[in-house]
Chain A
Amino acid sequence: MARLVRVRRRRRARGALVSGVLLAVVLAAFALSLTTGDFVIPLADVLATLAGGGDGGTRFVVLELRLPRALLALLVGGCFGLSGAVFQGLLRNPLASPDVIGVSAGASAAAVLASMVLGLSGIALSAVALTGALLTGAAVYLLAWRKGISGYRLVLVGIGIGTGLSSVISYVMTRSDVTEAQNAFLWLTGSLNGRSWTHFWPLFGGAVVLLPLALVGSRALPALQLGDEAAGGLGARVERDRLAMLACATALAGLATAAAGPVGFVAFVSPPIARRLLPGHGAALVPSALVGAALVLSADYAAQHLVPGTQLPVGIVTSLVGAPYLLWLLARANRVGRGG
């Protein structure tokens, strides 16, 4: 008994330590993206500007250009990371992240149709993308439903729906003129270039509501992860809880997609990283969100400065970093014989 308590205490200490370190990394990346750019503003000046001081030029650069972009990166990463952790945890499948099962594709298809066919922009576009994500998520869930949800059936249905939606996107891109198609393509890669407060507020509003909901709902997660029968036996209302959490996670992914496009691999790769940092902690929702935020912040920083004179979209960097990491993870897990 005393041993169990000791193990628990050590695990909790490790959780706090890892979360603390992740938070520090996020803050450092955030500070870096506020201070550096075409010209460097010392951290003290940035802090003074945030507190209301600073001269006109600094105020403009920090408050109008860098702050909204950094906040957006932070939130987009956090939303994708949390969303991926909820999906993968609930469906007990490492493939079941919103980008794999078609939710991001649904948001993208809706947004591309809305902007290229209907000419929408701004909050209307965000709303359409969110609707697209939720509709796709609902369709995937309903189509995969068969006396309950099995992780693999949902992944397969999601891949099917996602493939269909991607081809719709490709088709719309062949029907429009090349500049428009190229803009859509840039957005589809996942980009924070030229984002301002107008992109930030819809995401912020959604996140303020959804993040706490997801975290409260996550209390049911450990029971659900035992499997449907065991969870039902423990008194969990399996389907209701799962549906509520999935809806939350879908909306988070949809809002993040609306704000920055389907930034590749963040939702897929953040939860495994968090789980590796904290083995035995289940789905590790908060660390996943922090990993996502750190990932998008640093990837966006790299995207701006990696190739001088070119602003790459952040999605290219997250994919170029995230996917080899996953390959490495696979190769490593395979060598010790735990590769699924």
Chain B
Amino acid sequence: MTVPLSPPGPADATRARRRHGSPALGAGLLGAALALAAMSVLSLAVGSGDVALHDVAAGVFSPDRSVHGQMIIQEVRLPRTLAGLLAGSALGVAGALMQGIARNPLADPGLLGVNAGASVTVVLAISVLSLTEPAEYIWFGFLGACVAAVLVYGIGSLGREGATPVKLALAGAATTAVLGSLTSAMLLRDSRTFDQFRFWQVGALNGRDLDVLWQALPFIAVGGVSALLLGPSLNALALGDDLARGLGQRIVAVRLTGAASVVLLCGAATAIAGPIGFLGLAVPHAARLITGPDYKWILPYSALLAPALLLFADVVGRLIARPGEVQVGVITAALGAIPFVLLVRRRNVVEL
């Protein structure tokens, strides 16, 4: 393993700041927020049901459920849009956080086994406990995400050098395979569970109760705020453990707080939308292209860009297979692959 994987050094950070400057980045953040708002409106306004534009605004703010269009907004599109906002932000921040604390360009809930952990416990809940409602079995997904994250990080960080990228990625791949085969073993014996699981597994925003969102919201809020507060510490971590320690960072505490936030965010996002891949991997890399390597900016950019992308993907999924639809997890994978490959081809990202 000779490819250098440490993030760009402080010289790059200074250069990036000189090039962009904080005001420009602040304005960019505003632009990202506007893009997100536009995507939210799009997600409310576009879909297979026929909804007049004036019903959209009314359906959100003062719904009259006797009007069909307003009922669709209230019952279908508003929960769906909120689900996209929450799950997208959570995944974007979680991805950036994972890449920061693990100093690992490959960090993603999918790659590091967190999704697989959520899947295996969801299947357990469906097949053993006979739970049928997402609002019931999501908490098992949450539990599984925690266990998998702890397992992967624990194994990956054994030894002198701590959690190096390669060790973490290998531990993640191995854990994913173990949990995946446990999931398969359960599913193959039980076709009813399999039938439910195959729809959960693609990752989707439709059919989510507001209840689920309310349950997930506190976890995302706590995880998100603590992630944003970790920005400066992540910048120090990027210099390497020894330098970070020299700068007065308690690196173990930073990593533990970060990992706890990741688990909260990924677990809640998976609970809302199922395992959505790519978003947590691709969006922070895209954000880094705009902001440079400063995590104080990467984190908020990821928090805004990821839900914008997720909502856009969801809208595309509603339009391309009418009258049916393509689940958003499929679209994010397809849409995410293109910029992802472009990003990977840039030398500095590969060596991050």
Contact present for B175 and A312 (CB under 8 Å): no
Stretch among A165-173, A194-202, A274-282 lining the B interface: A165-173
Contact present for B173 and A95 (CB under 8 Å): yes
CA distance A168 to B202 in the complex (A): 9
Contact present for B326 and A171 (CB under 8 Å): yes
CA distance A189 to B345 in the complex (A): 32
Interface 1/0s, chain A 318-334, versus B by CB < 8 A? 01101110110011011
Residues of B within 8 A of A331 (CB): 155, 158
Interface 1/0s, chain A 152-169, versus B by CB < 8 A? 110111011101101110
CA distance A153 to B345 in the complex (A): 7
Residues of A within 8 A of B111 (CB): 159
Residues of B within 8 A of A171 (CB): 202, 326-327, 330
Residues of B within 8 A of A168 (CB): 330, 333-334
Interface 1/0s, chain B 307-337, versus A by CB < 8 A? 0000000000000000000110110111011
- Asked if B350 lies at the interface with its beta carbon under 8 angstroms from chain A, I say yes
Residues of A within 8 A of B167 (CB): 330, 334, 339-340
Stretch among A68-76, A178-186, A286-294 lining the B interface: A178-186
Residues of B within 8 A of A186 (CB): 188
Residue of B nearest to A151 (CB): B3
Asked if A153 meets B344 with Cβ closer than 8 Å, knowing A170-B198, A319-B177, A327-B175, the reply is: yes
- Asked if B181 lies at the interface with its beta carbon under 8 angstroms from chain A, I say yes
- Asked if A253 lies at the interface with its beta carbon under 8 angstroms from chain B, I say no
What's the least CB distance linking B260 to chain A, in Å? 22
What's the least CB distance linking B5 to chain A, in Å? 8
CA distance A159 to B277 in the complex (A): 11
Residues of B within 8 A of A340 (CB): 1, 164-167, 170
- Asked if B130 lies at the interface with its beta carbon under 8 angstroms from chain A, I say no
CA distance A152 to B340 in the complex (A): 14
CA distance A160 to B341 in the complex (A): 7
Residues of B within 8 A of A323 (CB): 174-175, 177-178, 181
- Asked if B137 lies at the interface with its beta carbon under 8 angstroms from chain A, I say no
Interface of B, helix, strand, loop or mixed by DSSP? helix
- Asked if B22 lies at the interface with its beta carbon under 8 angstroms from chain A, I say no
Residues of B within 8 A of A339 (CB): 158-159, 161, 164, 166-167
CA distance A316 to B183 in the complex (A): 9
Size class of A's contact patch? 35 or more
Residue of B nearest to A92 (CB): B2
- Asked if A141 lies at the interface with its beta carbon under 8 angstroms from chain B, I say no
What's the least CB distance linking A127 to chain B, in Å? 25
Contact present for B177 and A265 (CB under 8 Å): yes
Contact present for B159 and A189 (CB under 8 Å): no
Residues of B within 8 A of A181 (CB): 194-195, 198
- Asked if B132 lies at the interface with its beta carbon under 8 angstroms from chain A, I say no
What's the least CB distance linking B7 to chain A, in Å? 14
- With beta carbons under 8 angstroms apart, the residue of B159, B171, B327, B350 that contacts A327 is B171
What's the least CB distance linking B327 to chain A, in Å? 7
- Asked if B110 lies at the interface with its beta carbon under 8 angstroms from chain A, I say yes
- Contact residues, B267-282 vs A (CB, 8 A): 277-278
- Asked if A315 lies at the interface with its beta carbon under 8 angstroms from chain B, I say yes
- Asked if A49 lies at the interface with its beta carbon under 8 angstroms from chain B, I say no
Asked if A320 meets B181 with Cβ closer than 8 Å, knowing A152-B3, A174-B199, A333-B159, the reply is: yes
Asked if A167 meets B184 with Cβ closer than 8 Å, knowing A319-B178, A330-B174, the reply is: no
Contact present for A182 and B174 (CB under 8 Å): no
- With beta carbons under 8 angstroms apart, the residue of B3, B5, B166 that contacts A94 is B166
What's the least CB distance linking B183 to chain A, in Å? 10
Asked if A337 meets B344 with Cβ closer than 8 Å, knowing A163-B333, A186-B188, the reply is: no
CA distance A186 to B191 in the complex (A): 11
Residue of A nearest to B178 (CB): A323
What's the least CB distance linking A314 to chain B, in Å? 11
Contact present for A164 and B199 (CB under 8 Å): no
- With beta carbons under 8 angstroms apart, the residue of B165, B171, B195, B333 that contacts A330 is B171
Residues of B within 8 A of A173 (CB): 198
Asked if A310 meets B341 with Cβ closer than 8 Å, knowing A334-B159, A337-B161, the reply is: no
- Asked if A93 lies at the interface with its beta carbon under 8 angstroms from chain B, I say yes
Stretch among A10-18, A117-125, A142-150 lining the B interface: A142-150
Asked if A164 meets B181 with Cβ closer than 8 Å, knowing A94-B170, A323-B174, the reply is: no
- Asked if A335 lies at the interface with its beta carbon under 8 angstroms from chain B, I say yes
- Asked if B160 lies at the interface with its beta carbon under 8 angstroms from chain A, I say yes
Q: 5 shortest A-B CB distances, which residue pairs? A: A334-B159, A340-B166, A319-B181, A167-B333, A334-B158
A-contacting residues of B (Cβ < 8 Å)?
1-3, 5, 105-106, 110-111, 155-156, 158-161, 164-167, 169-171, 173-175, 177-178, 180-182, 184-185, 187-189, 191, 194-195, 198-199, 201-203, 277-278, 326-327, 329-330, 332-334, 336-337, 340-341, 344-345, 347, 350-351
B-contacting residues of A (Cβ < 8 Å)?
92-95, 100, 143-144, 146, 150-153, 155-157, 159-161, 163-164, 166-168, 170-171, 173-174, 178-179, 181-182, 185-186, 189, 264-265, 268, 310, 312-313, 315-316, 319-320, 322-324, 326-327, 330-331, 333-337, 339-340
Given contacts A163-B336, A166-B333, A339-B166, 17 further A-B contacts (CB under 8 A): A94-B170, A153-B345, A157-B341, A160-B344, A163-B110, A163-B278, A167-B332, A167-B333, A171-B327, A174-B327, A264-B180, A313-B184, A323-B174, A327-B155, A335-B158, A337-B159, A339-B161
A-B residue pairs in contact (CB < 8 Å), sample of 28: A94-B166, A152-B5, A156-B350, A161-B341, A163-B277, A164-B336, A164-B337, A166-B277, A167-B334, A168-B330, A168-B334, A171-B327, A171-B330, A178-B191, A178-B195, A181-B194, A185-B194, A186-B188, A313-B184, A319-B181, A320-B178, A320-B181, A323-B178, A327-B174, A330-B174, A334-B158, A335-B159, A340-B167
